[in-house]
Structure 1
Amino acid sequence: MRCLVRAIETGSFSAVARELGIGQPNVSRHIASLEKALGTRLLHRSTRQLVATAEGQRYYAQARQALELIAQAESDARGQQKPQGLLRVACAPTLGTEKIITALPAFLARYPDVEVELRLSDSYIDLIAEGVDIAVRGGVLKDSSLRARRVGTSERICVASAGYLDRHGTPEQPADLLQHQCLIYTLMAGGGGWPFKDGAVHVQGRVRLNSLDGIRKAVMQDLGIAYLPSWTIAEQLRSGELRPLLTAYSAGRSPLNAVYAAERLLPQRAAVFIDFISAVFAATPGLDGRSIVP
């Protein structure tokens, strides 16, 4: 059952073999034996990919929950009340490196039987396919297969360096951005429009990046106007190295959520991690629900 679940999630017998340490032929034999016992095909196999059949998808959803329940029952039977096991967390690189990794020593000291694997990417991650327990994501949850718990709020603002503004002037209203070089975040939802309280402005610019950290560095190099989470540039705003723009037109804060698969039992290690990062973000200017600009 475990082999089938992870084969569907990873799409690879070899990945399951490495994870479970049993060899790829054994993975194939286990799944074939399961299919024989059930009297139905659970996977379509080809040289390029594994795809679950309709029966396989239904079996997977219940098998995944069963495995979580078995793990919890075994833990309870052993009297192990403390969180334990491997926790897989996905989040954006900037948030992961600057807030989560820096807080990890305290978390690992508090929960010595938990291991943490971070998947740092600005791209959308399929939690089921990647075997991820929690993803930390901004915005309103739209996927009905996921559940979410708010762990903070994030405020995005327009900023530019003093050098850029000295050379090109300061925009007074959102429409003025169309006359400026704007730093484009290529992974931004909504087609790249920058939202303001009266509507989005579809900006343009000569520099495009798929990383918020890259955009932060680019705006500090006088390359254009950026639209960034305020917490990522709190230090530069305090020092005056970057200046906030168009704050009267701000679209407001958006939720930052810990999301997880609705069909899974949330492991205890994941629940305590969500509590932990909620406290971390509550102590972080720009993520704590309060604005860091006037």
Structure 2
Amino acid sequence: MLDELADTHAEVAAFDGEVSGTLRLACFPTFGKRYVIPVLASLAQQYPSLHVELDLTERLADPVAERLDLVVRMGELSDSTLIATKLAPHDRILVASPAYLEQHGVPESEAALRNHRLLDKLHGNDLLGWSSILGAPTGETCEHVVFRSDDFEALNGAALAGMGVAFLPSWVSGPSVKAGDLVRLTISRERWNERPSGIYLLRALPAPPAKVKAFTQALKDHVGTPPCWS
């Protein structure tokens, strides 16, 4: 009953247009640090009565069960009663540093890639989706995984340091490619990006309060079209 009362209060608050109260969010750690916090800093200047609770997590947070206003989710959305706002496409890119490619050569095919030094996710089976390229997780197809980490920023940093080839979301490595610090490898015309996939903001309430509307619009503007990392 208290949860239903809170939802009713939030829906009523949506009509007064005041950006205030506590905004509760959940998203990937790297995405939150790079793209969400700058938006929150800007909103804090505009709306001093707005408070934020940001859960940086890689698990699939549930807006309903965890009483969250918004969740950033990536990939293909399953059927759900949640309301989704698409922020950007979710592409994955192969990247390596110019120094690495100069020393080890540029892989021209999936078969050639198996002989390169690869960077992969720590914990879990094929969380980065290497099987989309190699046909199976790296542990089954390649003995040249030289670095594993459970953090996207660390994997991108390892690629920048010339440790090997990384397979990461474009929102992670795209800025480094734009800066010329990493090279994007377009093996097989990136066929793994052919299926539609996106970055979404998910919410439970049909009528979002003003704080949710303000954050959603600010994040969409910050990401841009096309995305700022593309």
Q: How does 1:97-136 map to 2 (within 5 A)?
A: 97-136=33-72
TM-score, normalised via structure 1 length: 0.65
Deviation readout 1:109-141 (Å, 9 max, x if unpaired): 333332111111233323334332211121111
Q: Determine the structure 1 residue equivalent to 2:97.
A: 161
CA contact (8 A) 2:60 2:73 kept: no
**Structure with higher helix content:** 1
Structure 1 residue 160: deviation in Å?
Answer: 0.8
The answer as to 2:166 corresponding to 1:231 is no
Distance 1:80 1:140 in 2: 34
Which is worse superposed, 177-186 or 125-134? 125-134
Distance 1:149 1:156 in 2: 20
Number of aligned positions between the proteins: 221
What TM-score do you get using the length of structure 2 for normalisation?
Answer: 0.80
Contact 1:139 1:254 in 2 (8 A): yes
Residues 39, 218 of structure 2: 8 Å contact kept? no
Letter in 2 for 1:194: W
Paired letter, 1:246 = T
CA distance in 2, matches of 1:231, 1:158: 12
Structure 1, unpaired ranges of 5+? 3-63, 287-291
Distance in 1 separating the partners of 2:146 and 2:172? 23
User: Partner of 1:273: helix, strand, or coil?
Assistant: helix
The structure number with the bigger radius of gyration is: 1
Q: Which has the higher contact order (CA 8 A, sep 6+)?
A: 2
| 87-96 or 242-251: bigger deviation | 242-251
In structure 2, the CA distance between the partners of 1:188 and 1:280, relative to structure 1 (3 Å rule), is farther
1:198-243 CA distance string (max 9 Å, x none)? 8855334132211111101111222211012223334432443211
Rounded Cα–Cα distance in structure 1 between residues aligned with 2:173 and 2:128: 20
Aligned to 2:8: 69
Match of 1:244 among 152, 168, 184: 184
Change (3 A) 1:70 1:134: closer
Query: Would the alpha carbon gap of residues 84 and 242 (structure 1) be closer, same or farther in structure 2, given more than 3 Å must change?
Result: same
Q: Where does residue 258 of structure 1 map in the other structure?
A: 201
CA contact (8 A) 2:25 2:70 kept: yes
Structure 2 gap ranges (5+): none
Segment of structure 1 superposing worse, 156-165 or 181-190: 181-190
Match of 1:271 in 2: 213
Matched, 1:177 2:119: no
> Paired residue for 1:202, among 114, 122, 137?
137
Q: Percent identical across equivalent pairs?
A: 28
2:162 is matched with 222
Task: Quickly say closer, same or farther: Cα 1:236–1:190, change in 2 above 3 A.
Answer: closer
* Cα distance, 1:281 vs structure 2: 1.0
- The aligned counterpart of 1:36 is none
Change (3 A) 1:187 1:153: farther
Whether contact under 8 Å (1:159, 1:227) holds in the other structure is yes
Question: Is the CA contact (8 Å cut-off) linking 2:10 and 2:208 kept in structure 1?
Answer: no
Work out the CA distance in 1 between the residues paired with 2:223 and 2:36: 9
Could you say what the CA RMSD is over the residues aligned between the two structures, in angstroms?
2.9
Q: Is 1:148 aligned to residue 84 of structure 2?
A: yes
Change (3 A) 1:189 1:128: farther
**How far apart, in 1, do the equivalents of 2:200 and 2:127 lie?**
22
Distance 1:86 1:181 in 2: 45
3-state SS in 2 of match to 1:271: helix
Decide whether the 8 Å contact of 1:114 with 1:269 is kept in 2: yes
Is the contact between residue 122 and residue 187 of structure 1 (CA under 8 Å) also seen in structure 2?
no
Which runs of 4 or more aligned residues in structure 1 lie more than 6 Å from their structure 2 counterparts after TM superposition? 187-190
Whole-angstrom distance in 2 between the partners of 1:143 and 1:69: 25
Contact 1:193–1:200 at 8 Å: present in 2 too? no
Provide the rounded CA distance (Å) in 1 between the counterparts of 2:5 and 2:215.
22
